């Protein structure tokens, strides 16, 4: 019954209206404390005639005779009441911690949580509203069992790494498919920088009503060839019939770095490097090869004044106190014919990294209208303008974090107040004064739909959606900066991504003989996306006042235009069957064709089946006082991953230039006409339970995901003229366990809720033709029998106490001071053993407090910059303070080798810079106070709440770098170069104070 109702709600199918309506009014209160409940949805069953309660819980509605009203509110058990002859209804709602009656958004529809046979994590608006972040994914870290979300850098708007039940690909994308209001959106970085921007930051988190993460095959297979990495469905807010609600919000705050790495001060620098010079024999009487004094040596070898009075804090010079503020305004409401939600939001974040600032202004209108009782039309329209003042990539001298390499003996500014240009490396503060690096973006996510319900239960729906992304990058470096050279440098890049989709579905929902509920879906979908880019690059500006490429004497090689496209044609269907809401069966199938796949393999079929058993509906449990809900479910299915680049199946020739002539050359990747999607088969077993009237509830899932036909770039011998071929070879496996638990510990005037989740995932590459070596200074590899991105290299064996040489392990377990004789072996694992979060909330009268902690345990981090900054004075880069523990005399036991300038003593890429990356983070703490209704009324407000909130308040970790939540994107290989730190900026610790007013 319940299900039937919720489905009709979701499909918004009105029944014929027949005369004689009558008014009903009343008040909704909480069972626990009798207070009025605001915002409860009151709906006439089987219609979309409804209202919501005001600040004191009152409602008023006009209904048909014989109507049944449905009262629902998140966090409370839904209640149905037949109106009968009553004109006043006083309803008491019971707190419902499991949210089992919650409607869950699934692919192309909705389902009641209790009837769901797939594994879905749903997160509500509460979790993402008014959190001082750029994108909603940052706000749900620690709240998503089975979904590991990590920020890779503290740069504002930077790309995130999201893994739904582990990495299921090595070379294709591992990021989930994002669907906003039914439309798959562009979630790949469109910018030209090495480091990705997150295109989802364009969505105002305050506009989100719910986020559903489809994790197992049963839930996701309806998205076929793009479902292997999970699917994130985002639904935006809608208006509801009833009083018009106006909300105004504002917050303001400041931020600082969570953590800074510690470097030598001037005296320590002189001590260590003086020793390094001496140990390398540079100080002495021989005029040909030696210097008479350290001062001479410092001056000549590195241009450093040994007797400098300065003790510069270069680490601090690249960071600053950030500032954040947000203005938010929304209105929602409507009547029986038309509902609307209208919002405007402006968010301004000045980052903790010098030069970093993110601003976003957005507006949204979600409108739906009933043309007739059974015909509805609607439009969701949004427009966002975001401006990101970006920071150079990690591996650029102009990255402000790289300032930490500069010797403290060198001044930041010279006596005359100008920036010191005579520094060991580029003093990139010059970039801040003489340039800009701005990514401006216009984004629109829009959907229009028309639905028609010719007979009750049957709905035809057609929707068309478009996602327009228009990115404008503008980079200017004046003469005198490093990139600007002697004449200035400018780069401008316009990217336009036009991505449109049409979905056409038929759904049919019917209950036969009260016991058999059928819910069927059939559909067709087409998507096409085109990315066009036009860029211009120039050098030679008259002076720094000219900043556009029109004024550049030379237009250089970065100028050009390009176009890249892909398309998908899909058919899909699903059938859900429930017997007495007790036995549940579901099956789905999808057939996908894509332009990306080789001509020999254009179409693929995917699907899943699942079973559920609501044990608590059985007679033997029905009256159990302790266990009030128990559901077992199992699913099995096949999904694909199609993120392989648009033309990987083809052998191609591209243009190449020789001064002013254009030639052609074969691409280094060889084509493969049978190239196709990766296939993941996933098995999931789950149990959901509720004890003590759902005061304690939870969910446990175990899964195994086997991925085969991995789209791997198989390395070819260079001698054949090509570097790689993309093939469907190799396989990997993810196995895991997810547990989430919630408990309402105290349910009196004080309410105290405690929850938590923990996820274990084990990734193993089960079949791989040959290891993939990321190379460079990284340790990342992909090897058979090991988890993805395993750290593989020399194992550092510490220091020879006799002579201070760095030692490495050899194949026979001995040690050597020759890196070339060391054996390559496993030296770490960037994948955590487990991740999760804990949360608690306490409320008492108007006061509310919530806290969220996030943890990651058992992963390793490789500090790729160690070879420069923690290398016992091998070169003049300022060293981390731990390098003071260097070996000095025979017998010293330490892990830091003897300081030898240019001595390459311990400089080889090795486990020397691998450390544990586990951390526990106090993620979000919020304390709020809601002014009593009587008081806010006096100020003509329906509600008023003020709050203070802290983000990333503390971080407990053994990692000695900046922030343990790190993964530089500067080396590419995003899927397997994991846990690498390279001058990567830390996250920020943010404090805000805010107010929300309801009018």
According to CB under 8 A, which residues from 439 to 478 bind other proteins? 452, 454-455, 458, 460
Give the per-residue contact string, 602-641, with other proteins (x = CB under 8 A; - = no). Answer: x---------------------------------------
Assess contact for 407 and 424: CB atoms under 8 A: yes
Q: Say which DSSP state 289 is in.
A: T
The residue range among 243-251, 276-284, 323-331, 438-446 that interacts with other proteins, by the rule CB under 8 A, is 276-284
Q: Which one, 753 or 905, has the nearer CB to other proteins?
A: 905
Give the per-residue contact string, 758-797, with other proteins (x = CB under 8 A; - = no). Answer: ------------xx-x-xxx--------------------
Question: According to CB under 8 A, which one of 314, 340, 566, 919 is a site residue for other proteins?
Answer: 566
Assess contact for 86 and 61: CB atoms under 8 A: no
Residue 513 burial (C-beta neighbours within 10 Å; 0-12, 13-18, 19+): exposed
Strand, helix or coil at 111?
A: strand
Strand (E) or helix (H) holding 269? helix 266-279
How would you label 972-988 residue by residue, b for 16+ Cβ within 10 Å and e otherwise?
ebbbbbbbbbbbbbbbb
Min. distance of Cβ 486 from other proteins in angstroms?
5
886-915 residues in contact with other proteins (CB under 8 A) are 902, 904, 907, 909
Q: Write the secondary structure of 409-476 as one string of H (helix), E (strand) and C (coil).
A: CCCCECCCCCECCCCCCCCCHHHHHCEEEEEEEEEEEEEEEEEEEEECCEEEEEEEEEEEEEEEEEEE
Min. distance of Cβ 557 from other proteins in angstroms?
5
Q: Which one, 418 or 845, has the nearer CB to other proteins?
A: 418
Question: According to CB under 8 A, which one of 725, 744, 914, 931 is a site residue for other proteins?
Answer: 725
Is residue 657 at the binding interface for other proteins, with CB under 8 A as the rule?
yes
Question: According to CB under 8 A, which one of 331, 569, 946, 995 is a site residue for other proteins?
Answer: 569
Measured distance CA(614)–CA(636) in Å, rounded: 18
Q: Which one, 18 or 662, has the nearer CB to other proteins?
A: 662
The residue range among 43-51, 552-560, 608-616, 743-751 that interacts with other proteins, by the rule CB under 8 A, is 552-560
Question: According to CB under 8 A, which one of 3, 259, 539, 631 is a site residue for other proteins?
Answer: 539
Is residue 737 at the binding interface for other proteins, with CB under 8 A as the rule?
no
Question: According to CB under 8 A, which one of 86, 300, 550, 825 is a site residue for other proteins?
Answer: 300
Measured distance CA(990)–CA(358) in Å, rounded: 15
Measured distance CA(659)–CA(209) in Å, rounded: 55
Is residue 685 at the binding interface for other proteins, with CB under 8 A as the rule?
no
Question: According to CB under 8 A, which one of 565, 747, 784, 960 is a site residue for other proteins?
Answer: 565
Judged by CB under 8 A, how many residues of this single chain contact other proteins? 102
Measured distance CA(775)–CA(768) in Å, rounded: 18
Question: According to CB under 8 A, which one of 280, 707, 870, 975 is a site residue for other proteins?
Answer: 280
Is residue 483 at the binding interface for other proteins, with CB under 8 A as the rule?
yes
14-53 residues in contact with other proteins (CB under 8 A) are none
DSSP string, 381-400: EEEEEEEEE----TTSTTSG
Question: According to CB under 8 A, which one of 1, 17, 31, 652 is a site residue for other proteins?
Answer: 652
Give the per-residue contact string, 198-217, with other proteins (x = CB under 8 A; - = no). Answer: --------------------
Q: Which one, 173 or 672, has the nearer CB to other proteins?
A: 672
Min. distance of Cβ 568 from other proteins in angstroms?
8
Is residue 113 at the binding interface for other proteins, with CB under 8 A as the rule?
no
Task: Say how many CA atoms lie within 13 Å of 277 toward its Cβ.
Answer: 24
Is residue 594 at the binding interface for other proteins, with CB under 8 A as the rule?
yes
Min. distance of Cβ 52 from other proteins in angstroms?
33
- What distance separates the 2 farthest-apart alpha carbons in the chain? 111
The residue range among 70-78, 117-125, 669-677, 809-817 that interacts with other proteins, by the rule CB under 8 A, is 669-677
Is residue 598 at the binding interface for other proteins, with CB under 8 A as the rule?
no
Task: Say how many CA atoms lie within 13 Å of 655 toward its Cβ.
Answer: 10
The residue range among 84-92, 127-135, 145-153, 284-292 that interacts with other proteins, by the rule CB under 8 A, is 284-292
Q: Which one, 602 or 708, has the nearer CB to other proteins?
A: 602
Is residue 526 at the binding interface for other proteins, with CB under 8 A as the rule?
yes
Phi, psi (rounded to 5 degrees) for 300? -80, -40
Measured distance CA(766)–CA(788) in Å, rounded: 10
Question: According to CB under 8 A, which one of 377, 716, 881, 948 is a site residue for other proteins?
Answer: 716
Detail the DSSP E strand segments found in 94-191. Answer: 103-106, 109-112, 120-124, 147-151, 160-164, 177-180, 183-184
Assess contact for 5 and 22: CB atoms under 8 A: no
484-513 residues in contact with other proteins (CB under 8 A) are 484-486, 502, 504, 506
Question: According to CB under 8 A, which one of 593, 789, 906, 961 is a site residue for other proteins?
Answer: 593
Q: Which one, 571 or 920, has the nearer CB to other proteins?
A: 571
Is residue 5 at the binding interface for other proteins, with CB under 8 A as the rule?
no
Measured distance CA(101)–CA(509) in Å, rounded: 18
Tokens describing residue 656: 């190449």
Is residue 480 at the binding interface for other proteins, with CB under 8 A as the rule?
yes
Measured distance CA(182)–CA(236) in Å, rounded: 10
Strand, helix or coil at 101?
A: coil
What's the length of the chain? 999
Min. distance of Cβ 106 from other proteins in angstroms?
22
- Smallest Cα–Cα separation from 281: which of 802, 876, 903, 875? 903
Is residue 316 at the binding interface for other proteins, with CB under 8 A as the rule?
no
799-858 residues in contact with other proteins (CB under 8 A) are 819-820
Measured distance CA(805)–CA(797) in Å, rounded: 10
Min. distance of Cβ 580 from other proteins in angstroms?
27
Is residue 84 at the binding interface for other proteins, with CB under 8 A as the rule?
no
Is residue 867 at the binding interface for other proteins, with CB under 8 A as the rule?
yes
180-199 residues in contact with other proteins (CB under 8 A) are none
Is residue 674 at the binding interface for other proteins, with CB under 8 A as the rule?
no
Question: According to CB under 8 A, which one of 664, 891, 893, 939 is a site residue for other proteins?
Answer: 664
Is residue 698 at the binding interface for other proteins, with CB under 8 A as the rule?
no
DSSP string, 313-337: -HHHHTB--EEEEEEEEEEEEE-SS
Min. distance of Cβ 547 from other proteins in angstroms?
17
Min. distance of Cβ 422 from other proteins in angstroms?
5
387-446 residues in contact with other proteins (CB under 8 A) are 421-426
Assess contact for 51 and 22: CB atoms under 8 A: no
Q: Which one, 757 or 984, has the nearer CB to other proteins?
A: 984
Tokens describing residue 659: 């001064």
Is residue 520 at the binding interface for other proteins, with CB under 8 A as the rule?
no
Sheet containing 914-916, strands listed edge to edge, beginning at the edge strand earlier in sequence: 914-916, 860-863, 980-981
Q: Which one, 76 or 796, has the nearer CB to other proteins?
A: 796
Q: Which one, 268 or 651, has the nearer CB to other proteins?
A: 651
Measured distance CA(667)–CA(670) in Å, rounded: 7
The residue range among 2-10, 211-219, 565-573, 842-850 that interacts with other proteins, by the rule CB under 8 A, is 565-573
Residue 636 neighbours by CB under 8 Å, 6+ apart: 217, 218, 608, 609, 610, 681, 682, 683, 684
Min. distance of Cβ 981 from other proteins in angstroms?
17
Measured distance CA(960)–CA(101) in Å, rounded: 46
Residue 748 burial (C-beta neighbours within 10 Å; 0-12, 13-18, 19+): exposed
Measured distance CA(491)–CA(815) in Å, rounded: 51
């Amino acid at each position: 019954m319940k299900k039937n109702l919720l489905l009709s709600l979701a499909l918004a199918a009105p029944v014929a209206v027949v005369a004689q309506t009558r008014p009903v009014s009343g008040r909704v209160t909480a069972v626990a404390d009798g207070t009025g409940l605001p915002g409860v949805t009151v709906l006439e069953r089987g219609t979309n005639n409804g209202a919501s309660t005001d600040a004191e819980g009152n409602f008023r509605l006009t209904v048909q005779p014989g109507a049944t009203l449905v009262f629902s509110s998140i966090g409370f058990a839904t209640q149905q009441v037949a109106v009968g002859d009553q004109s006043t209804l006083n309803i008491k709602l019971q707190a419902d911690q499991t949210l089992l009656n919650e409607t869950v958004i699934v692919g192309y529809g909705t389902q009641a949580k209790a009837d769901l046979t797939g594994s879905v994590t749903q997160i509500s608006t509460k979790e993402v509203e008014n959190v001082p972040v750029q994108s909603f994914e940052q706000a749900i870290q620690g709240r998503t069992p089975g979904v590991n979300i990590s920020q890779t850098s503290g740069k504002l708007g930077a790309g995130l790494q999201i893994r739904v039940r582990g990495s299921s690909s090595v070379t294709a994308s591992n990021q989930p498919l994002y669907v906003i209001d039914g439309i798959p959106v562009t979630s790949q970085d469109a910018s030209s920088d090495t480091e990705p921007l997150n295109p989802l930051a364009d969505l105002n988190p305050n506009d989100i009503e719910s986020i559903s993460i489809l994790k197992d095959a049963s839930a996701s297979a309806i998205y076929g060839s793009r479902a292997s990495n999970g699917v994130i469905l985002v639904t935006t807010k809608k208006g509801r019939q009833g009083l018009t609600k106006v909300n105004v919000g504002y917050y303001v705050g400041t931020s600082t770095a969570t953590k800074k790495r510690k470097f030598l001060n001037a005296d320590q620098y002189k001590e260590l490097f003086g020793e390094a010079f001496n140990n390398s024999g540079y100080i002495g009487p021989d005029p040909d090869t030696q210097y008479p004094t350290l001062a001479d040596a410092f001056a000549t070898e590195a241009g450093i004044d040994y007797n400098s009075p300065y003790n510069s804090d270069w680490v601090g010079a690249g960071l600053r106190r950030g500032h954040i503020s947000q203005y938010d305004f929304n209105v929602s409401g409507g009547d029986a014919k038309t509902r609307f939600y209208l919002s405007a939001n402006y968010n301004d974040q000045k980052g903790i990294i010098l030069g970093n600032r993110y601003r976003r202004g957005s507006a949204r209108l979600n409108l739906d209208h009933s043309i007739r009782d059974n015909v509805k039309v609607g439009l969701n329209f949004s427009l966002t303008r975001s401006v990101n003042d970006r920071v150079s990539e990690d591996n650029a001298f102009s990255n402000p974090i790289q300032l930490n390499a500069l010797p403290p003996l060198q001044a930041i500014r010279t006596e005359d107040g100008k920036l010191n240009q005579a520094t060991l490396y580029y003093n990139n503060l010059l970039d801040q004064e003489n340039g800009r690096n701005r990514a401006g973006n216009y984004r629109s996510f829009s959907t229009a739909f028309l639905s028609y319900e010719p007979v009750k239960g049957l709905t035809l729906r057609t929707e068309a959606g478009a996602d327009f992304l228009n990115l404008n990058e503008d980079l200017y470096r004046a003469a005198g900066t490093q990139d600007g050279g002697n004449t200035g440098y400018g780069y401008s890049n316009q990217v336009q991504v036009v991505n449109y989709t049409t979905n056409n579905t038929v759904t049919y929902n019917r209950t036969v003989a009260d016991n058999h509920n059928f819910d069927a879906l059939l559909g067709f979908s087409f998507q096409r996306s085109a990315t066009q880019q036009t860029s211009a690059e120039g050098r030679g500006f008259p002076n720094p006042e000219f900043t556009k490429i029109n004024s550049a004497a030379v237009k250089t090689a970065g100028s050009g235009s390009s176009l890249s496209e892909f398309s998908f044609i899909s058919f899909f269907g699903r059938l859900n069957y429930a017997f007495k809401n007790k036995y549940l069966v579901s099956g789905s199938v999808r057939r996908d064709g894509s332009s990306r796949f080789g001509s020999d393999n254009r179409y693929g079929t995917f699907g899943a089946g699942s079973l559920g058993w609501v044990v608590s509906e059985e007679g033997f449990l029905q009256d159990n006082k302790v266990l009030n809900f128990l559901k077992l479910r199992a699913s099995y299915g096949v999904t694909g991953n199609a993120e392989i680049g648009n033309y990987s199946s083809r052998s191609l020739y591209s243009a190449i230039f020789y001064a002013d002539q254009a030639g052609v050359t074969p691409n280094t990747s060889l084509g493969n006409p049978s190239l196709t999607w990766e296939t993941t088969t996933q098995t999931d077993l789950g149990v959901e339970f509720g004890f003590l009237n759902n005061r304690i509830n939870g969910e446990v899932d175990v899964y195994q995901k086997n991925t085969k036909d991995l789209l791997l770039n198989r390395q070819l011998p260079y001698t054949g003229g090509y570097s790689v071929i993309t093939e469907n070879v190799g396989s990997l496996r993810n196995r895991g366990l997810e547990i989430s638990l919630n408990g309402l510990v105290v349910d009196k005037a004080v309410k105290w809720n405690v929850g938590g989740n923990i996820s274990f995932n084990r990734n193993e590459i089960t079949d791989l033709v040959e290891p993939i070596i990321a190379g460079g200074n990284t340790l990342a590899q992909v090897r058979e029998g090991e988890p993805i991105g395993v750290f593989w290299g020399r194992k550092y064996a510490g220091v020879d106490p006799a002579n201070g040489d760095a030692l490495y392990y050899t194949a026979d377990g001995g040690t050597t001071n020759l890196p070339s004789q060391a054996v390559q072996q496993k030296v770490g694992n960037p994948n955590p053993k487990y991740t999760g979060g804990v949360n608690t909330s306490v409320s008492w009268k108007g006061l509310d407090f919530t806290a969220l902690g996030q943890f990651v345990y058992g992963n390793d981090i490789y500090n790729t910059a160690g070879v420069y900054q923690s290398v016992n004075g091998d070169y003049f880069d300022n060293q981390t303070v731990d390098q003071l523990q260097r070996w000095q005399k025979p017998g010293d036991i330490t892990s830091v080798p003897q300081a030898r300038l240019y001595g390459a003593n311990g400089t080889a890429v090795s486990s020397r810079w691998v450390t544990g990356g586990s951390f526990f983070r106090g993620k979000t703490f919020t304390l709020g106070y809601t002014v009593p209704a009587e008081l806010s009324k006096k100020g003509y407000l329906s509600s008023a709440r003020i709050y203070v909130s802290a983000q990333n308040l503390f971080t407990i970790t053994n990692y000695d770098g900046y922030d343990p939540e790190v993964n530089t994107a500067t080396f590419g290989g995003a899927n397997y170069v994991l846990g690498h730190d390279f001058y990567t900026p830390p996250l920020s610790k943010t404090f805000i104070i805010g107010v929300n007013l309801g009018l």
